[in-house]
Amino acid sequence: MLQVQTKVTGDKEVMRKLQILSEKCDGKVEDIIRNTTIKVEGEAKKDCPVLTGRLRSSITHKLINKRKEHTGQVGTNVIYAPFVEFGTQKRKAKPYLFPALKTGNNYLKQKLTSEIKKIK
């Protein structure tokens, strides 16, 4: 499965507020991660090129919650997915997953920033 990871980093004050948000509003962070993951899946499906529909219908998401760590994964198990995303020598790339991830990252930043601003 094609995997892309995003890590949130920042100055000490931002990271401190993220930690407070995580501790006080764990359910809120989990909701933001869930909503972002679903948004990325939807964007990937919307942008996915379709010939038979197999690739688009194979795009799924999953949430992994370990202790206070929340992870969202979006991907596909279709073997030719990377060839569509990145292209080959004979076929032009038709990115659908990375643009969706970019949209999801922007959404995630917006939602986390909004919640961080609420913390004193």
**Angle formed by the axes of helices 97-117 and 26-47, to 10°?**
150
pLDDT tens digits for range 32-90: 889 999 999 999 999 999 989 999 999 999 988 777 677 889 999 999 999 999 999 99
pLDDT exceeds 60 at position 20: yes
Query: Residue 17 in 3-state DSSP?
Result: helix
Q: Which helix (H) or strand (E) holds 20?
A: helix 12-24
Question: What is the C-alpha separation between 25 and 3, in angstroms, rounded?
Answer: 27
Task: Categorize the per-residue pLDDT at 22 as very low, low, confident or very high, splitting at 50, 70 and 90.
Answer: low
Beta strands in the chain, from DSSP E residues, in sequence order: 60-66, 69-75
Here the tokens at position 55 are 């690739």
The whole-number average pLDDT for the span 16-31 is 72
